[in-house]
Structure 1
Amino acid sequence: MDAIDDAILRELTVDARLPYSELGARVGLSPNAAANRVGRLVADGTIRAFTIVRGGAGAAPGPGLEVFVEVRLAEGTTNEDFTDALARRGFPHVLDAVHVTGSYDYLLHAVVTDPAALDLFVRRLKREAGVAQTFTRLAMRA
């Protein structure tokens, strides 16, 4: 780890969706060099998981159905493919996505407006985010 790696980690902590071109510009590297550095940080375990959080710590989920969706990725779908799909394809329902141990790969915390929106959300996960199987729980109360 050097000063550039530290700068990369600071930038990704603020915005993990930064394109490599922007990340590189912010830390003084070319896009390819920034991508290589991030890849090395993942490979050496410095970056261990990609987590998406909306609304900041302690934010209230807002109106609607609060759900917890366990997700099993389809064969051939990587963690990066999944988290990129959540970030790029517009899954605003997701408040948090945590890579977990056990029979499922991720636990999503989300808020949807109603059962129809939940159905659409789960179908989109399967169609657009490389999800093979889900198990959904509704929060009864906080």
Structure 2
Amino acid sequence: MDHIDEKILGLLQENARRSFSDVGRHVGLSTNAAAARVRRLEDDGIILGYTVIAGKDTPGPRGGLEVFIDVRLDSETDYDAFLARIEPIKQIVDAIHMTGPYDYLLRAYSPDTAALDALLRRLKKECGAAQTQTRIALRSR
């Protein structure tokens, strides 16, 4: 999943009834290319459906899981590089530099555990995380 796929997901989360033409126009792709991307996201299990019903007690700005991820960076990654790599990841809403055994505490939202797993894999594969520890919010207040 790349930044274009993330943009497509964001657009469909805002309005799942968007046409492929509209999606393509927003992300700089042709209608056919946008349709192919959406179909691949469906085939890969990233898009599981097109209906979201979120009550007022659903965690996160769009519903789903609110997660806190402790991140220890690998020895090759400096702090500025890590921040630059996570900047385009829309699921991450906050990154706090910490003392203690972990370098950063990330606050993120994930629609489900499969998307959370993909996020954790991306942090390790692309962003320089050597180790993560994740906590899921059960409720607030």
TM-score range, shorter chain: 0.5 to 0.7
The alpha carbon displacement at 1:62 in A equals: 2.9
RMSD: 0.9
The alpha carbon displacement at 1:76 in A equals: 1.6
Count of aligned residue pairs for this structure pair: 81
* Percent of aligned pairs with the same amino acid: 49
Note the residue ranges of structure 2 that are not aligned, 5 or more in a row. 1-59
SS of equivalent residue, structure 2 residue 133? strand
Counterpart amino acid of 1:71?
V
Q: State the TM-score, normalizing by the size of structure 1.
A: 0.55
Query: Is 2:127 the partner of 1:109?
Result: no
Contact 1:61–1:95, Cα closer than 8 Å, also in 2 = no
Q: State the TM-score, normalizing by the size of structure 2.
A: 0.56
| Pairing partner for 2:132 from 127, 131, 134 | 134
The alpha carbon displacement at 1:72 in A equals: 0.2
| Pairing partner for 2:94 from 96, 107, 131 | 96
Give the match for residue 82 of structure 1: 82
Taking the aligned partners of 2:100 and 2:137, their CA distance within structure 1 comes to: 21
After TM superposition, where is structure 1 displaced by more than 2 Å over at least 4 residues in a row? none
Counterpart amino acid of 1:105?
D
The alpha carbon displacement at 1:70 in A equals: 0.1
Contact 1:82–1:129, Cα closer than 8 Å, also in 2 = yes
